[in-house]
Amino acid sequence: MPESTKKLGLWTSTSLVVGNMIGAGVFLMPAAMAGFGSIGLLGWVFSAIGSFFLAKVFSNMSKLLPHATGGPYAFTRNGLGDFAGFLVAWGYFISTSCACAAITKSLVSALSTFFPTLANNNFAAISTGLCAIWLLTYINTRGVVTSGKWQLVTTILKILPLLLVAVGGLFFLQAKNFLPFNSSGFTTYGAISATAAMTMFSFIGIECATIPSGSVENPEKTVPRATLLGLLIATLVYILGSISVMGIIPAIQLQHSQTPYADAAAVIFGNGARYWVSAGVAIAAFGALNGWTLMQGQMPFAVANDKLFPAIFGKQNKKGVPYVGILLSSTLVSLFMSMNYTKSFVEQFRFLLLLSLLSMLIPYLLSAASYLIIRVKNKQVDGWLGAVFLAIIAFSYALWNIVGTGKEAVYYGFILLMISVPFYVWVAYKKSSE
């Protein structure tokens, strides 16, 4: 069967969701949240609940528009029109570029267990990150099925060590490590809002099965199942893992850890475990980077087909891969990753996390706003009470998280969105003149 006609199945689609979600948040999150205290665990709970409602919105819309390639972009454009769809596509493209930069830093951080020079030699760290970025760029230009197989393999390989730490660590918990409950200096509500915004970054990717819908087998059934199954698997790993790591490592020490999962494994299984857990984390980062690189070709391709991005983004190679978006994204990721090596690993991760999250929350917000409109257009007459409730909760949750990202992320995110407006005006003018 030709490469371009092969389809992604349930498990490959699920691995795309799991691989992108876990790869985005599992690495440095315990260290990034250690300064808040154990109240951060409530942030995980709120993020999991809110993400369920968002996942349900995406699942329902994938049934209403099963062949709409582009996920949040396609949903928003169908519901709110071209300009809103363009903003979603732009925000998503920037967000995933920032996320890939954060993931690359996490990959380098995990590899520093084996090669300590990566922790204090910026040239070595940047070079390693660039090699990973462009290797996966090459893999993703070989076809969506090839990329999907890599994603499935890396997802399987990373789940085992992460679960071993998450479950094994429950037998080594020390109650004193969970105190004080709130050490952030914020009110309880403020601390929960801040940690929920941070942990929400770990749930970016719940929509990934919807984006390559045109390349998924039976998308009206496969995409909803993969979305909810992927969310369930990732949530279990996140919450159990955070409890274990926070309960094993004192908060003061955890704040400065570059490899928190490996440090926890050393306590549970002995110092040798540090290496195989770091290997698992590196594989997880590599797999997540692979999945997001795939997304970076599919989204601009869908937008270019609607003539809202330059036509060059719609070009495909002989494998049927929209390679231009992938190449441009990898260039941006390389730039973002290289320019932020002036801060510590944790500080870099936190800033890229919040900027990426804000750029992604806007697509989530507008997708939730589009849900009821799409139902009307599709003449759905049943289940309106539940649909209204779902849309309100999903929209409110996305809006709450936007506030929780903080002033700095909102400021830079606003600038990135404003940059897109002249670009849209130019594209719209060209489209109308054809």
Q: What is the tally of structural domains in the chain?
A: 1
Above 50 in pLDDT, residue 25?
yes
Assign residue 338 the CATH number of its domain: 1.20.1740.10
End-to-end CA distance of the chain: 37
Joined tokens for residue 140: 């993703």
Q: Compute the average pLDDT of residues 7-30.
A: 72
Q: Tens digits of per-residue pLDDT, 381-434? A: 788 899 999 999 999 998 888 887 777 777 777 777 777 777 777 777 777 776
pLDDT at 52: 92
Burial of 74 (0-12, 13-18, 19+ CB in 10 A): buried
Question: Is-above-0.75 flag for pTM?
Answer: yes
| pLDDT tens digit sequence for 248-266 | 999 888 888 877 888 898 9
Using pLDDT thresholds of 50, 70 and 90, give the confidence band for residue 3: very low
What is the model's pLDDT at position 4? Answer: 43
Q: Which of 303, 336, 277, 317 is nearest to 111 (CA)?
A: 277
Q: pLDDT per residue over 175-222, tens digit each?
A: 898 988 888 888 888 888 888 877 887 788 788 777 666 667 777 788
User: What gap in Å lies between CA 402 and CA 413, rounded to an integer?
Assistant: 10
Residue-number span of the structural domain to which 90 is assigned: 3-433
pLDDT bucket at 374, cuts 50 / 70 / 90:
very high
The pLDDT > 90 percentage for the chain reads 12
Residues 391 and 104: their CA atoms lie apart, in Å, by 34
Stretch 4-15: mean pLDDT: 68
| pLDDT tens per residue, range 136-161 | 888 888 766 666 666 677 777 777 87
Residue 2 banded pLDDT, cuts 50, 70, 90: very low
Query: What are the angstrom distances between the C-alpha of 284 and each of 75, 106, 160, 357?
Result: 29, 10, 11, 20
Tell me if 18 sits within 8 A of 155, measured CB to CB: yes
pLDDT over 70 at 272, yes or no: yes
Contact between 170 and 188 under an 8 Å Cβ cutoff? The reply is no
pLDDT tens digits, residue range 54-80?
999 988 888 888 877 777 888 899 999
Supply the pLDDT for residue 248. 93
Residue 5: the pLDDT is 47
Q: Is residue 98 scored above 90 in pLDDT?
A: no
What pLDDT sits at residue 373?
A: 93
Q: What is the pLDDT of residues 294-339, one digit of tens each?
A: 777 777 888 888 888 888 888 888 877 888 888 888 888 888 777 7
- Annotate the chain with three-state secondary structure: CCHHHCCECHHHHHHHHHHHHHHHHCCCHHHHHHHHCCCHHHHHHHHHHHHHHHHHHHHHHHHHCCCCCCCHHHHHHHHHCHHHHHHHHHHHHHHHHHHHHHHHHHHHHHHCCCCHHHHCCHHHHHHHHHHHHHHHHHHHCCCHHHHHHHHHHHHHHHHHHHHHHHHHHHHCCCHHHHCCCCCCCCCHHHHHHHHHHHHHHHHCCCCHHHCCHHHECCHHHHHHHHHHHHHHHHHHHHHHHHHHHHHHCCHHHHCCCCCHHHHHHHHHHCCCHHHHHHHHHHHHHHHHHHHHHHHHHHHHHHHHHCCCCCHHHHCCCCCCCCHHHHHHHHHHHHHHHHHCCCCCHHHHHHHHHHHHHHHHHHHHHHHHHHHHHHHHHCCCCCCHHHHHHHHHHHHHHHHHHHHHCCHHHHHHHHHHHHHHHHHHHHHHHHHHHC
pLDDT band at 134 (very low <50, low <70, confident <90, very high): very high
Mean pLDDT, rounded, of the chain: 81
pLDDT of amino acid 247: 92
Read off the tokens for 193. Answer: 């809002």
